Homo-oligomer: A and B are copies of this chain.
């Protein structure tokens, strides 16, 4: 399994559609069905994004999720950390103290500070995280938007809204 999993892909795509929906609340089912994704899979992602302060939930028959802040203020790193947790790139087992030269009792210098191999991995992780932190949801939305023809965003908004209206109708019936 890749370090950054399909849950992040589904999450970012869902946030992009939410950003495009013009602040109309959408349920995780609305967004899953709209994207041809498994609703139960997507449903697991949204509470994590809510807990991280990226989404907020609204109540009522037309309730659902909205972005908790502007797309410019949501970094890709925040989304990744919210969904994946803060998992390290490299999980150092700190084997340096086990060398037979040390016997049963490694000297303090041998295990002092961060292992030099771990330090290299932490620098690489920092570079990766800084790159993800430098990109916002708004940046990604603009990149997607540049590909779409004029009128597409209206089409998306209408389609998402029709879905919300249909859901509200079903829940009243």
Contacts and interface: CB of A to CB of B under 8 A. Distances in A.
Given A37-B98, A98-B35, A120-B132, A93 B143 contact: no
A89 B3 CA distance: 5
Given A9-B92, A127-B127, A147-B112, A99 B34 contact: yes
Interface residues of A, number: 61
A159 to B, nearest CB: 5
A113 B76 CA distance: 20
Contacts of A144: 116
Contact of A127 (B5, B91, B121, B128): B128
Interface in A33-74: 33-37
A33 B101 CA distance: 11
Number of this chain's copies in the assembly equals 2
Contacts of A119: 143
A19 to B, nearest CB: 13
Given A100-B34, A128-B124, A147-B109, A117 B3 contact: no
A105 interface: no
A126 B91 CA distance: 20
A101 B153 CA distance: 11
Interface of A: 1-6, 8-10, 12-13, 33-37, 76, 87-93, 95-96, 98-101, 109-110, 112-113, 116-117, 119-121, 123-132, 135, 139-140, 143-144, 147-149, 152, 155-156, 159
